[in-house]
């Protein structure tokens, strides 16, 4: 039988996945996201790429109903699938690093959902804050728990945004996508092409890229974004398996690519 992914109603989906989304929907308000930007977008913690990868060996994503392995395994599986299909070297690198923003758990806390134990500010499908929550969110029954949905502006369709302002103008729920995107954007030696940066920034934005919501905010440019995301998403999703890799075994292939697009110095987190 073919394996299905992202079935959140399957009987064996753990209570923890649902609980994760209940908390995420409850606590990720516009104000919370702004405070996370202040906390994390400082770029004063130097750490090289491979060290960051090693830290993801310690982390299992509690929001993922499909995989129970350390996150670094998912990164290598994604990258190896992209490599197998002979896709461009930068895309292989994006596969390898796309979830690296989860290293925020090193500086995280239970209170703001960025720790090993509480991950609601770090992982899971994201949505825009400052405007109404769409029914395309997983477990839409939790939308009403968000205090912003009782705010006259933040609960409206346009919220704090303008019609067709474009995806880049939206403030998304805080998580590893935005963190890694901002860290790399700030990284002076970053040469990852725009498509790769978009893959990093929006891969968890399921209500948009898979749910079809937020049409009133989109521009022509975002149609291109959607093509890039769809292209990347199958490697993020359909490569999940129990096959284990050793980072050391694949480093020889990826290290030169990482150096080509990110330089050889530390990245400031
Ligand atoms: Fe991710
Ligand atoms: Fe991923």
Strand 267-268, strand 46-47: pairing: antiparallel
Q: For residue 3, what pLDDT is reported?
A: 65
Q: Give the ligand at the shortest distance from the Cα of 96.
A: 2
Q: Give the ligand at the shortest distance from the Cα of 101.
A: 1
The predicted-structure confidence for 156-181, as pLDDT tens digits, reads as follows: 999 999 999 999 999 999 999 999 99
**CA 139–ligand 1 middle distance (angstroms):** 19
Residue 103 scores a pLDDT above 50: yes
**CA 252–ligand 1 middle distance (angstroms):** 24
CA–CA separation, 204 and 231 (whole Å): 14
Q: For residue 2, what pLDDT is reported?
A: 56
β-bridge mates for residue 171, sequence order? 129
Which has the closest alpha carbon to 53: 71, 79, 80?
71
Q: What percent of the chain has pLDDT over 90?
A: 85
Which has the closest alpha carbon to 145: 133, 157, 163, 128?
133
From residue 95, alpha-carbon distances to 20, 38, 59, 92, 152 in Å are 25, 27, 17, 5, 40
Domain boundaries, given as residue ranges, for the chain = 18-264
**CA 80–ligand 2 middle distance (angstroms):** 13
**CA 2–ligand 1 middle distance (angstroms):** 23
CA–CA separation, 83 and 106 (whole Å): 29
CA–CA separation, 129 and 33 (whole Å): 8
**CA 258–ligand 2 middle distance (angstroms):** 18
pLDDT: which is higher, 7 or 89: 89
HSE of 233, CA atoms in CB hemisphere, 13 A: 18
The predicted-structure confidence for 13-71, as pLDDT tens digits, reads as follows: 778 899 999 999 999 999 999 999 999 999 999 999 999 999 998 888 888 887 778 89
């Amino acid at each position: 039988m073919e394996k299905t992914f992202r079935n959140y109603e399957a009987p064996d989906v753990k209570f923890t996945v649902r609980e994760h989304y209940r908390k995420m929907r409850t606590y990720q308000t516009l104000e919370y996201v702004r405070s996370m930007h202040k906390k994390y977008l400082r770029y004063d913690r130097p750490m090289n790429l491979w060290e960051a990868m090693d830290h993801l060996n310690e982390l299992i994503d509690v929001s993922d109903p499909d995989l129970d392995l350390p996150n670094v395994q998912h990164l290598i599986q994604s990258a190896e699938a992209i490599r197998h299909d002979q896709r461009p070297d930068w895309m292989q690198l994006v596969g390898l690093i796309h979830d690296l923003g989860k290293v925020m758990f090193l500086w995280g806390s239970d209170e703001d959902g960025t720790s090993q134990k509480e991950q609601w500010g770090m992982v899971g499908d994201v949505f825009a804050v400052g405007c109404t929550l769409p029914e395309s969110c997983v477990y839409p029954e939790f939308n009403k728990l968000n205090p912003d949905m009782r705010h006259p502006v933040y609960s409206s369709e346009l919220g704090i945004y303008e019609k067709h302002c474009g995806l880049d103008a939206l403030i998304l729920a805080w998580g590893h996508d935005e963190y890694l995107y901002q860290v790399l954007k700030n990284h002076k030696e970053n040469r990852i092409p725009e498509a790769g940066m978009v893959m990093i920034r929006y891969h968890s934005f399921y209500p948009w890229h898979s749910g079809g919501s937020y049409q009133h905010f989109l521009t022509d440019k975002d149609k291109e974004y959607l093509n890039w995301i769809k292209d990347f998403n199958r490697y993020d999703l359909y490569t999940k398996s129990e096959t284990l890799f050793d980072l050391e075994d694949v480093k020889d292939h990826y290290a030169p690519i990482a150096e080509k697009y990110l330089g050889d110095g530390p990245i400031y987190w």
